[in-house]
A and B are shown apart, each in its own frame.
Chain A
Amino acid sequence: NAGVMQNPRHLVRRRGQEARLRCSPMKGHSHVYWYRQLPEEGLKFMVYLQKENIIDESGMPKERFSAEFPKEGPSILRIQQVVRGDSAAYFCASSPSATEAFFGQGTRLTVV
């Protein structure tokens, strides 16, 4: 059973471009969580999704950020018009139910 797969592992974007980060949960997992880790800080919860539904987006910035988890395919975290402050590591986690979460290796976004 493959783990949580995130791609790309590294992503470089110029200011103003869009960033799309993908997360494929473990097989059989229908709960997906996104976290952001800024330099020198711990992971911060962003959003919790189940298939086709956003359950909790209390940690998402109000503008430019969106997330989806379609019926088919991976979960996508989308950042529009990226700025330097968006540079961070973005982690995805999945779980089969409301129990412990399994994390991916993360995507390191660098905005230049």
Chain B
Amino acid sequence: AQSVSQHNHHVILSEAASLELGCNYSYGGTVNLFWYVQYPGQHLQLLLKYFSGDPLVKGIKGFEAEFIKSKFSFNLRKPSVQWSDTAEYFCAVNGRHNQGGKLIFGQGTELSVKP
């Protein structure tokens, strides 16, 4: 079955701490991978995406993610978080030849950054 699993439901960090959010997927075939962020009261915004090429992807606001095909993983990282990174983060996947907006999402990880 096609699915996305995010390991952590809620993560609490202090400012300047490093962040890594886990994401594993199960999907037959070649995939596109995404991380979205939802700040309180706002819409989902795309942080970064992987379609092909360099498995280390850099996104907005200092975030990056690494696609490890052998582990079916696409973990999100940031070396030093800020209070403004407090939000919910969603990992998502679709098939390389699927409709672009038809995504399978993980359950989300709520990140709370303490000032």
Residues of A within 8 A of B (CB): 3-4, 31-33, 35, 40-45, 48, 55-56, 91, 93-95, 97-106
Q: How far is the CA of A95 from the CA of B46 in the complex (A)?
A: 13
| Shortest distance between the CB of B38 and any CB in chain A (Å) | 8
| Shortest distance between the CB of B76 and any CB in chain A (Å) | 15
Chain B residues, CB < 8 A from A104: 43
Q: Which residue of B lies closest to A3 (CB)?
A: B43
Tally of contact residues, B, Cβ under 8 A: 24
Residues of B within 8 A of A (CB): 4, 6, 34, 36, 41-46, 49, 90, 92, 98-108
| Shortest distance between the CB of A41 and any CB in chain B (Å) | 6
Interface contacts (Cβ under 8 Å), in number, total 64
**Given A41-B107, A93-B101, 4 additional A-B pairs, CB 8 A:** A42-B107, A42-B108, A43-B105, A91-B44
**A41-B107, A42-B106, A105-B42 known; A31-B99 Cβ under 8 A:** yes
**Is B44 a contact partner of A98 (Cβ separation < 8 A)?**
no
Chain B residues, CB < 8 A from A3: 43
**Is A94 a contact partner of B101 (Cβ separation < 8 A)?**
yes
Q: How far is the CA of A56 from the CA of B98 in the complex (A)?
A: 11
